[in-house]
Structure 1
């Protein structure tokens, strides 16, 4: 996601994903709601246009593990695999030979249940675009469909797109729930420009979405 493969890549990966660890540390301690009554923007952010008519939120449903994510508007159709934390305590992204796979933080919220579920993916590799190459093109109103292992499909609607510079990363805005009573989703990859000296990107793209529909028969949330 955040750097390109190579001899130095393994070291840089831990540094680049440290922002995710910080976000998880705060998010796991019950961050209060983020106020989005007006657009909040980061470095080169798309923001949240005031004239977008977004659907009502669907009530959270019983937890189930994600198997696949589809975002038609962004040409994303990919399997989802659970990922944990690496030896340095940061989220361990999918390996570069699986650059078409989306990683879900398996130690956190499952998509559809109350809280914020985290999906991460690479933007590119040394030679080709990766699964979240088009993520920065997301717009409020875009639909994100997640197929779950209980046979249900949960649909999320994008309501916020931001790009956070690494030196000004705000974990509260990136990971804090927009509404504490909703099921929410974050799609995260690298953004900004690629710094050849440090072999990292200068920013993180964070796409926020909330549950708006359910197909299938998931159990009621407990």
Structure 2
């Protein structure tokens, strides 16, 4: 890497949001992704209690996989729920919340620019809607995933980062464990997040479904 490239990378890292601040934002109890409608006969699937994350697994998953350098993500694929969607960058909205992609497009995910890029050392964050006013959206089936399934992120450098799921949980927005979800484990991690839990017309979804995954391969 040249001197100018190193300088650019250092600048990118300095401008990423500190996870402590993001965690505090989420712990206020307001929605991370606030546009789910929930108004369908059958709600989105919710994670089983047996799918809770095993904190011992991330290190084991990444033992033989070297993290990748910075590269923007272009596509997310989750074969287990037939997801194949483009990714756009998202930041914080005017109120300081993690933004979500425009709800009008049901097949669109967002990479939070305050996190590392998927495949880098650290915790990358990809978000998307569970539904919109017309029906299910990109991450409607997220809660039905099981441990061991894969999430693939196609990057603009031509590489595909392959992550293995080691946990799927739903957390109440007024008790969101930001440190547990976002903290770096010293390996390349991925979190995929959408709305979940109970729903009311007054307040929307009261929780977030979070998929925990670790890098296990590169193609």
TM range (shorter): 0.7 to 0.9
- 8 Å Cα contact 1:23-1:174 kept in structure 2: no
Q: Tell me, which stretches of 5 or more residues in structure 2 are unaligned?
A: 1-16, 25-46
Shift of 1:70: 0.3
Structure with greater proportional helix content: 2
C-alpha separation between the residues in 1 aligned to 2:53 and 2:212?
Answer: 10
- Indicate the RMSD between aligned Cα atoms, in angstroms: 2.5
Partner of 2:179: 172
Q: 1:22 to 1:113 in 2, by over 3 A?
A: closer
| TM-score, length of structure 2 as denominator length | 0.73
Partner of 2:192: 187
Q: Is 1:127 matched up with 2:134?
A: yes
Structure 2 residue matching 1:97: 3-state secondary structure: coil
Q: 1:55 to 1:142 in 2, by over 3 A?
A: farther
Shift of 1:99: 2.3
Partner of 1:6: none
C-alpha separation between the residues in 1 aligned to 2:107 and 2:91?
Answer: 18
2:68 to 57, 61, 71: 61
C-alpha separation between the residues in 1 aligned to 2:122 and 2:205?
Answer: 28
| TM-score, length of structure 1 as denominator length | 0.72
- 8 Å Cα contact 1:99-1:131 kept in structure 2: yes
C-alpha separation between the residues in 2 aligned to 1:151 and 1:22?
Answer: 28
1:62-81 superposed matches below 5 A: 62-81=69-88
C-alpha separation between the residues in 2 aligned to 1:207 and 1:132?
Answer: 11
